[in-house]
Structure 1
Amino acid sequence: MPKGSLNSLLFKSNCKSKGEVLDWKTRFENAVGTARGLLYLHEECRDCIIHCDVKPENILLDSNLSPKLADFGLAKLVGRDFSHFWHDAVGNLEIISGRRNLDLTAQDSSLYYFPPWAATQMQQGKTMNIVEEGVAEEADMEEVRRACVVALLCIQEEEEVRPSMGQVVQMLEGKMELQTPQIPSSAVRPPHRSDTSS
């Protein structure tokens, strides 16, 4: 993939120092495109595939910056009824914020683990604070709100509250009414495993 991984564009420090920040339109299109790819794997391909390791490093970009899921090393082939499938509720607000979910170098200790801070900002009506500086100014407020709500719904611990990938795509595309997410209990503590961006 000629543009490398989404990770390299979100977190590459020398890009940020030159002011080359990935714009909101591209970020949102990548979120929707990745969700569509996961929907295909979950519901439309011959065998149901659960990726198990979706993170910016495993989203590769073609010459048009369109996302392609990669690295299926942890993927599982499962039956169509996989509602009880293992779920590590870490979530991924990284594409919105341009920062890692877990960052122990943050100056403010409330930002060490990003999801609870982001959830609190949403509850206080300050959703645009979540968007990376330099991107928020040109971001579509409604798209930001949809992306943040979907992210919080996807990290709920109760499986009956988490949306299917079909619902995720519909909510991101504005074709389905958004539910009001609770701050998940998983968002108030860091994940147990070292990989914090699945």
Structure 2
Amino acid sequence: MVPWQKSYLPMCLINVLDWKQKFEIAVGTAKGLAYLHEECLEWVLHCDVKPQNILLDSNYNPKVADFGLSKVLNRGEQSNLSFSRIRGTRGYMAPEWVQNMRITSKVDVYSYGIVVLEMLTGKSPAESVQAIGGGEETHEKMMVTWVREKMNGAFANAESQKGDDYEQNRLEILVKVALQCLEEDKDARPTMSQVVEMLLHHENN
């Protein structure tokens, strides 16, 4: 892990990013989480992935930061995770936390999906999303519902830079990957290394 530096800024404070920068931030963040989940000698579950905990340097390279809620375990302990309390930030937490289900690295995958959608839409999961009807949906589910409704062209037309098919394709792959990360069933979500592979496969084609 790279030490926190004063020159870094939280991603949530950077308002002007082009699609190339957003794509690279998504890839870089995914690589950081994949490293924590699969490459560290000890298995690290971050537990609080959100824009405030993704720092950007002067070149907009992302670094995952603030491990105050993280869980560090030996590799053999993955199947016996126990938590004394719910961890994370409202709006970014996977449903497993409140459903008393076994906690795995897929909780970070879910949070990553929310972060990507927030970066793309500019809408916080803690805020109500326009055009969603009544009901008891949580704010993050409202945002996911809103994005899914816009996936059939309207979202891309509204959010992408006009006349640039490559940039629109970047947007579409980011949305598709984010929605996969937000599957209710944790087993249907990709791992963070699979997220990296999907994004880089698109970038290299």
Name the TM-score, length of structure 1 as normaliser: 0.70
1:49-198 to structure 2, matched below 5 A, reads 49-80=44-75, 82=78, 84-85=102-103, 87=107, 89=110, 91-92=114-115, 93-104=117-128, 108-110=130-132, 113-122=142-151, 124-129=152-157, 131=159, 136-137=161-162, 140-174=167-201
Q: Distance in 1 between matches of 2:126 and 2:131?
A: 11
Residues 1:36 and 2:60 are matched in the alignment: no
Q: Distance in 2 between matches of 1:169 and 1:130?
A: 26
Q: Distance in 1 between matches of 2:12 and 2:35?
A: 22
Partner of 2:83: none
Which ranges of structure 1 fall in alignment gaps of 5 or more residues?
11-20, 177-198
Q: Distance in 2 between matches of 1:127 and 1:33?
A: 24
Q: Distance in 2 between matches of 1:76 and 1:94?
A: 25
- Asked if 1 retains the 8 angstrom alpha-carbon contact of 2:44 and 2:72, the reply is yes
Partner of 2:96: none
Query: 1:32 deviation in Å?
Result: 0.4
Q: Distance in 1 between matches of 2:175 and 2:121?
A: 10
**SS in structure 2 of the partner of residue 43 of structure 1:** helix
Query: 1:3 deviation in Å?
Result: 4.6
Query: 1:127 deviation in Å?
Result: 3.9
1:98-138, Cα deviation, whole Å (9 max, x unpaired): 2212323x6x342973211101111x23341573xxx6335
Which ranges of structure 2 fall in alignment gaps of 5 or more residues?
1-5, 80-101, 134-138
Query: 1:173 deviation in Å?
Result: 1.2
Partner of 1:187: none
Does the C-alpha gap of structure 1 residues 3 and 76 become closer, same or farther in structure 2, counting only changes over 3 Å? closer
